[in-house]
Amino acid sequence: MERLWRHLDRLESYACQLLLAVFVTLLFVQIIARQLFGFSITWIEELSIVLFVWFAYFGASYAARIAAHNRVSFHLNALPRRTARIIEAIGDLFWVAFNVVFIWYAISFISLLKPFVKLQTLGWQMKWVYAVLPVAFALMTIRILQVNYLKLVRGVDPRDPDQVEVEELLELAGDDDAEAHSRRIH
């Protein structure tokens, strides 16, 4: 069961990987068709745009899961961690409120779309293209609540991936400097 939860926890990551692979492959096919064969496949560009938009929204949800959305945090770093967590949670409550309002308006907007409003080359109804909005914002809301549960209840701080990467690079640079220094001594 835990394995299933781990995979569900990475749902947005898997969706992003699939969407990225498909739209990059489609664009590659389009480039080859244009450059080598001198013709264009009209529906590829439209589908690629739709996949890219879906990729961006699922990516935003994934970023919420790994606590990687941009936020000003230098002032929070000066506070005790518990206080900083509470202040972040209050800010996240505003974010959740915005998402709930956005989901409501997105659903209202989609319900107003007429069946004849379609993608030009694919012929899909636009409501299916816009469906990413309530889905992604609902997932993002769940992820925000999940991260706050981890921080406030379980005491686990998801680390900013950029900060982790910088720290790893600094450690590697420190190891290389120490190695070079030991070679100079010997």
Q: d(Cα 34, Cα 49) in Å, to the nearest integer?
A: 18
CA separation for the pair 136, 133 (Å, rounded): 5
CA–CA distance, 171 with 167 (Å, rounded to integer): 6
Residue 181: predicted pLDDT: 47
pTM: 0.77
The one-digit pLDDT tens for each residue of the chain (186 residues) are: 677 777 777 888 889 999 999 999 999 999 999 999 988 888 998 999 999 999 999 999 988 888 777 777 777 778 888 888 888 889 899 999 999 999 999 999 999 988 888 888 888 889 999 999 999 999 999 999 988 888 888 877 776 555 656 666 667 776 555 455 445 555
* pLDDT for position 101: 97
| Dihedral of the alpha carbons of 17, 23, 24, 28, in degrees to the nearest 10 | 150
pLDDT at position 100 is: 97
Tell me what pLDDT residue 167 has: 65
pLDDT of residue 159: 64
